[in-house]
Structure 1
């Protein structure tokens, strides 16, 4: 077996160095103006909008736009900024957002405007979109018919910058918002190779959202000749974590945020390194049946996986739990398995250095220091709405948003917070297509929360009280995709 690191030792295995702080200092410099791609030129016929219906003016206005701090940028004048057009024109990547939305989700159309693709200075190269092999990629979309607002998002999981296009981008663009999204500075299952020390790769995610928000605000002012009247942060899963972190640490950049099942990181727990190992230990015994299955089931429930969610466990064990535990543990505690990188997939409990036996509470203080770099406090400085499904078995609600809601209240920020527990919601909406009789998609609940945030920040209208939103009895699947009222 690979050698085990001595207690307290945190190994790094040749991660490429990078300095986001230095990149942020380059604001206003290193801006490259690239020619519009041929695909963009061929789709440049834009209908009337902010430029008075003059297509030439619509396209010409893009020439002066510069993304502060960008090392490279490409501008495209598009007849359609939503995925109804960007899939065909090559201005999105469906692989980035695959599996995140229900198949029946409608795609809005009729949003002409300008798209800017590019990247900020970075030395890691996990993102291969556009053949650039360069991280810190971003997309900024500027609709002709602008409503005065800007929405900024980081991506879920370890996906690339187009991951929010179907679930979030299409809808906010159809409402008239400018929209910006970042790949967070590193992507893919080996994201942990980025950074110079444990926790640095995830910490970069926060810096990249801050960087993009500042740059997108500048671009919006250039394009529309006035600053955004409102800037909202939103995102799902890791993207929801980024919303929380931004409103805790840079509230002055935003008017509010909508957190869709954000990941919770706390130095003392709970965090996913607490509840995933028990699932990896117990689930195989539960699935095997026999006399040990009852105890295994009780262990799963005690770890946070609610009774009633059992139908989701096989898929998550196969696809999510093992991989998630190993790669995030490698990012925050690489010394656990010595020279092995990200552990042994689906190892049996009792195997040396097996992630199923990982015990976060017993690990050296250096591990909690790594988590401390990315930890949340609950001290939000602007309005925040959280939505989270009660049947989430990737980030169980009792170990995540229930805890974060208490953190916000304990920090004395409860007046800035609303929390909606969505009965029947799970972590990825595509599973609704498989279990329409048991689940409900969260995408319409996110949209209801976003609409409530608009009224809260624009007019001071208080959102409905925090509550558990019940799944309607006998609900029609089409209706569940379309609506999710937050009030009683």
Structure 2
């Protein structure tokens, strides 16, 4: 939900990069569903560069690049490695040979948390248009509070190599002070949804300018907060998309569960568990009751140090700034009862109606209008699976939309893939499972062949880290 830039210490951060390209994924391109490779005048390198205009943009810069993947954009300055640090496993195979047009820019906005390109302007976006286009468009919102390049390694490289156009947004606010954006509680998160809708519409127009025809297929995908955006878009704007893949999306519900119904429990009980002594076992049981799965204890110290406290405080400030009075985003690592407004004491059910109404503005319903595939790791301890995707899958069924949804619980997956490098005997990366889900969605849309039924995908017996990086079978 919140892999935040700078949250990982530099020594660990250097080990938290990478993933792979799945060879089997090339089988189901949108061209098999009616899209045609670009031919004629539109097929030339960076054809129509001078004609592409992002509708509604306050500023844009279009560049002709010999390489749109990070194999080239790192050197050319058309991505920001800090933005995707820590999101993928080590030794990621980066595809090459994808020339085309990249458009960077921003939509009108009043906040200035995003400093990319020296613009100091939010609502920044990136649109990439490969010369060899398969007829499809993939749009994404970013995880955590990262900027528009956060998905470049995990998602953009792979879909660009397969011929898709790609567009991503910073969601309209970034960084640890994102909650300062907007005029009332919940505004900053509500803007995330508006910005992805805005970018999707604009990117579809840009594609028509570049290739002289609209996309034959528009897919939406993203991880963590980006996965939340996938859910929200398919619930509220299904007319814009053909389908989506939700990679452990954040669940917002005004009556819970949500971040505020389980994070305070971690802040209260983990320090007691970590201290050992006679109270440790009870604290461990309290953590399990709060949703943190048995067997995930080895991940608790890292998440306590890096994610739990910070996430609770900055998101609580967004929806409930009055809780700590004039203090902004609480007191880091305060002990329960140590001071007024300590987030370890936060009790969401008893907070004022206005707080619940602020969460309601961004809440999900399960009423998706297009095919959706969700993946989530069983050892996720930032967004525990029993308090997130298990609940969302039930919401979809209860809304009568279960025929549009497939849900795969990935055994031994956790929230941040790079942790699989630190615990190779205990964790598996979700990235290969995301790519399997993506190709399954393509087949679902192209042929009507439904993906495997909802299930827990077991970790293959005796699989070593290399094998776990080369595939993820959703059906076995």
TM over 0.5: yes
What is the DSSP-based 3-state SS (H/G/I as helix, E as strand, rest coil) of the residue aligned with 1:235? strand
- Give the superposition deviation at 1:54: 10
Q: 1:67 aligns with which of 38, 54, 78?
A: 54
2:147 matches 1:137: no
2:408 matches 1:420: yes
- Give the superposition deviation at 1:51: 6.6
2:297 matches 1:310: yes
- Give the superposition deviation at 1:60: 4.8
In structure 2, C-alpha distance between the alignment counterparts of 1:52 and 1:448, rounded to whole Å: 33
Aligned to 2:18: none
Alpha carbons 2:45, 2:131 under 8 Å: kept: yes
Aligned to 1:392: 380
2:181 matches 1:194: yes
Larger Rg over CA atoms = 1
2:346 matches 1:339: no
In structure 2, C-alpha distance between the alignment counterparts of 1:436 and 1:426, rounded to whole Å: 12
Aligned to 2:252: 265
- Report 1:69-468 matches (<5 A): 69-351=56-338, 352-468=340-456
Alpha carbons 1:104, 1:481 under 8 Å: kept: no
Alpha carbons 1:105, 1:481 under 8 Å: kept: no
What is the DSSP-based 3-state SS (H/G/I as helix, E as strand, rest coil) of the residue aligned with 1:484? coil
In structure 2, C-alpha distance between the alignment counterparts of 1:479 and 1:92, rounded to whole Å: 29
In structure 1, C-alpha distance between the alignment counterparts of 2:89 and 2:205, rounded to whole Å: 34
- Give the superposition deviation at 1:58: 2.3
Q: Indicate how the Cα distance of structure 1 residues 282 and 216 shifts in structure 2: closer, same or farther if over 3 A, else same.
A: same
Higher deviation after alignment, 476-485 or 412-421: 476-485
Alpha carbons 2:136, 2:218 under 8 Å: kept: yes
What is the DSSP-based 3-state SS (H/G/I as helix, E as strand, rest coil) of the residue aligned with 1:59? coil
Alpha carbons 2:42, 2:211 under 8 Å: kept: no
In structure 1, C-alpha distance between the alignment counterparts of 2:201 and 2:469, rounded to whole Å: 34
In structure 2, C-alpha distance between the alignment counterparts of 1:157 and 1:59, rounded to whole Å: 33
In structure 1, C-alpha distance between the alignment counterparts of 2:114 and 2:147, rounded to whole Å: 7
- Give the superposition deviation at 1:153: 0.2
What is the DSSP-based 3-state SS (H/G/I as helix, E as strand, rest coil) of the residue aligned with 1:124? coil
- Give a deviation string over 1:360-407, Cα, whole Å, max 9, x none: 000000000000110000000000000000000000000000000000
Unmatched runs of 5 consecutive residues or more in structure 2: 1-36
In structure 2, C-alpha distance between the alignment counterparts of 1:228 and 1:475, rounded to whole Å: 39
What is the DSSP-based 3-state SS (H/G/I as helix, E as strand, rest coil) of the residue aligned with 1:76? strand
In structure 1, C-alpha distance between the alignment counterparts of 2:75 and 2:83, rounded to whole Å: 15
Structure number with the bigger relative contact order (C-alpha 8 A, sep ≥ 6) is 2
- Give the superposition deviation at 1:59: 3.3
In structure 1, C-alpha distance between the alignment counterparts of 2:359 and 2:56, rounded to whole Å: 29
- Give the superposition deviation at 1:451: 0.3
In structure 1, C-alpha distance between the alignment counterparts of 2:314 and 2:280, rounded to whole Å: 28
What is the DSSP-based 3-state SS (H/G/I as helix, E as strand, rest coil) of the residue aligned with 2:313? helix
- Give a deviation string over 1:432-467, Cα, whole Å, max 9, x none: 100011000000000000000001112211111110
Alpha carbons 2:185, 2:319 under 8 Å: kept: yes
What is the DSSP-based 3-state SS (H/G/I as helix, E as strand, rest coil) of the residue aligned with 2:420? helix
In structure 2, C-alpha distance between the alignment counterparts of 1:59 and 1:300, rounded to whole Å: 54
- Give the superposition deviation at 1:106: 1.1
- Give the superposition deviation at 1:105: 1.9
In structure 2, C-alpha distance between the alignment counterparts of 1:279 and 1:58, rounded to whole Å: 53
- Give the superposition deviation at 1:50: 4.6
In structure 2, C-alpha distance between the alignment counterparts of 1:471 and 1:102, rounded to whole Å: 17
What is the DSSP-based 3-state SS (H/G/I as helix, E as strand, rest coil) of the residue aligned with 2:469? helix
* Structure 1 runs of 4+ with >2 Å offset: 49-55, 57-60
